[in-house]
């Protein structure tokens, strides 16, 4: 049983919201803090002081009211008339504090950089949701028993991707090139060590090695540098990559694990778009079933069901066959398979069989473990060995997963 609160199709920002520059400047950060409640920021201005101000004499019980109010929203439990009255006063105080906060932002009395978006979301959750609905960042919000389900809009997914990319780039170490650049011959801005005849239709002039070219002329006993003696460093080949991200959405992936996986997909999608090359990203969500996730629906993934790793790898292999470019598969999971699409194979045997089948498409398999149980590690080692071309990575904090994925793809600009 649930109560539908609001529903809104994707739409451009309303004019009334655009006028509220103070709040609008915080909207993207509020969106991210709503999506990822584990991300905490600090601010020099404490918004709880505004709520305490409007609580009056009850301000001394702020922590108690805040906790009780939060639990009431989650559990819809029974409360006496005394507590209902107190909580209603607390609700009104929050509403008044929210209005005052927005006014102070408009007038410049409080600057956006003085505020913590995560603290605002923690203390003004209903108000933030209402504002983000108006702006068009949220499609719908449903209150269900013990939890609230939020559906993000397509524009919100883009903004989340930008924020995730920004956070990851802050930690990005300088690299010469990402994993999608190889030493094969071809055309790119990255130079290898191999010397070849200079070709003006293939090489730019920065690729010319004048020392080697002069030595080549000197061998002939000629001091002048002839165009036929020019040699250049062979550019490395920037190959097209098809990235396939397999995200485990079984029951055990709730919370940080699923948020970390979604962040990785959104960040990689934005990175590929910004780079503007031929690379592609396909996102597949799997439990005991598997389905491809369209753009605009990645942020709305939910965790439920059992785990069929074999089915996920099978679907990835089928996509590789239909795609051109080097296939790179990210398998993101936190535990052993508990389901098999093949009734004649156990979940383990099914997963290992499909890992071996990846050899037929020459895919690179990146197995990302969000769990460290012994049997799960044993399975992943077997999957890596059977696939023939794989890396095994354990990520202790799922929220750091986006850094690994993006650092393996992007160069620092």
Are 346 and 401 within one domain?
yes
Pairing of strands 231-238, 181-185: antiparallel
Are 122 and 198 within one domain?
no
Lowest pLDDT segment from 75-89, 169-183, 299-313, 315-329: 169-183
Number of structural domains, the chain? 3
Last residue of a domain, one of 238, 272, 303: 238
Closest to 381 in 3D by CA, of 393, 397, 396 = 393
- The model's pLDDT over 129-166, given as tens digits with 9 standing for 90+, comes to 999 999 999 999 987 656 778 999 999 999 999 999 99
Q: Give CA–CA dist 352/354, Å, rounded.
A: 5
Are 233 and 248 within one domain?
no
Does residue 299 contact residue 157 with C-beta atoms inside 8 Å? yes
Does residue 190 contact residue 236 with C-beta atoms inside 8 Å? yes
Are 263 and 394 within one domain?
yes
Are 347 and 304 within one domain?
yes
- pLDDT at position 23 is 74
CATH of residue 291's domain is 3.40.50.410
Are 216 and 289 within one domain?
no
Q: Give CA–CA dist 311/354, Å, rounded.
A: 8
Are 255 and 370 within one domain?
yes
Are 250 and 120 within one domain?
no
Distances (CA, A) of 120 to 22, 75, 77, 199: 14, 22, 25, 60
- The model's pLDDT over 70-116, given as tens digits with 9 standing for 90+, comes to 655 555 545 556 666 777 888 889 999 999 999 999 999 999 999 99
Are 265 and 367 within one domain?
yes
Closest to 51 in 3D by CA, of 37, 64, 32 = 64
Does residue 56 contact residue 46 with C-beta atoms inside 8 Å? no
- pLDDT at position 213 is 61
Q: Give CA–CA dist 315/216, Å, rounded.
A: 54
Are 130 and 26 within one domain?
yes
Does residue 307 contact residue 333 with C-beta atoms inside 8 Å? yes
Are 214 and 200 within one domain?
yes
Q: Where are the alpha helices (DSSP H) in 230-328?
A: 256-275, 309-322
Residues contacting residue 166 through CB under 8 Å, at least 6 positions apart: none
Residue 155 backbone dihedrals phi, psi, to 5 degrees? -65, -35
Q: Is residue 282 part of a domain?
A: yes
Does residue 308 contact residue 298 with C-beta atoms inside 8 Å? no
pTM: 0.77
Which residue range is the domain that position 208 belongs to? 181-238
Q: Quick check: 198 pLDDT over 70?
A: no
Q: Give CA–CA dist 109/325, Å, rounded.
A: 54
Closest to 241 in 3D by CA, of 149, 297, 308, 319 = 319
Determine how many CB atoms are found less than 10 A away from the CB of residue 185: 13
User: What's the N-to-C CA distance of the chain in angstroms?
Assistant: 50
Q: Quick check: 14 pLDDT over 60?
A: no
């Amino acid at each position: 049983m649930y109560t539908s609160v609001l529903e809104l199709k994707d739409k451009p920002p309303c004019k009334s919201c655009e006028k509220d520059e103070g709040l609008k400047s915080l909207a993207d950060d509020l969106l991210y803090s709503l999506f990822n409640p584990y991300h905490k920021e600090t601010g020099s201005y404490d918004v709880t002081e505004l709520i305490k101000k409007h609580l009056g004499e009850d301000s001394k019980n702020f922590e108690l009211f805040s906790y009780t109010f939060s639990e009431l929203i989650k559990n819809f439990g029974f409360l006496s008339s005394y507590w209902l009255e107190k909580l209603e006063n607390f609700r009104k105080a929050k509403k008044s504090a929210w209005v005052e906060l927005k006014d102070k932002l408009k007038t410049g009395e409080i600057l956006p950089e003085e505020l913590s978006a995560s603290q605002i979301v923690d203390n003004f959750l209903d108000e933030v949701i209402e504002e983000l609905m108006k702006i068009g960042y949220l499609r719908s919000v449903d209150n269900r028993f013990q939890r609230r389900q939020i559906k993000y809009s397509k524009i919100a997914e883009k903004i989340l991707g930008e924020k995730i990319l920004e956070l990851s780039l802050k930690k990005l170490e300088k690299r010469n090139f990402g994993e999608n650049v190889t030493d094969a011959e071809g055309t790119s801005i990255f130079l290898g060590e191999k010397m070849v005849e200079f070709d003006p239709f293939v090489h730019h002039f920065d690729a010319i090695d004048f020392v080697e070219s002069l030595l080549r002329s000197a061998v002939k006993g000629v001091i002048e540098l002839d165009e036929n003696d020019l040699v250049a460093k062979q550019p490395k080949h920037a190959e097209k990559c098809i990235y396939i991200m397999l995200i485990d959405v079984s029951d055990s992936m709730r919370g940080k694990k699923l948020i970390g996986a979604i962040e990785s997909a959104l960040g990689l999608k934005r990175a590929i778009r910004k780079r503007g090359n031929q690379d592609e990203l396909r996102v597949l969500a799997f439990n005991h079933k598997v389905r491809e996730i369209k753009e605009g629906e990645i942020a709305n993934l939910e965790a439920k069901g059992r785990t069929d790793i074999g089915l996920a790898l099978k679907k990835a292999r089928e996509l590789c066959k239909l795609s051109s470019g080097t296939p790179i598969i990210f398998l993101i999971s936190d535990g052993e398979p508990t389901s098999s699409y093949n009734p004649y194979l156990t979940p383990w045997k099914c997963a290992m069989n499909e890992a071996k089948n990846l050899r037929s498409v020459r895919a690179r398999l990146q197995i990302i473990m969000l769990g460290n149980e012994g049997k799960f590690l044993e399975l992943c080692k077997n999957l890596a060995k059977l696939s023939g071309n794989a890396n095994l990575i354990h990520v202790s904090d799922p929220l750091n997963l986006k850094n690994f994925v993006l650092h393996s793809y992007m160069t620092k600009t």
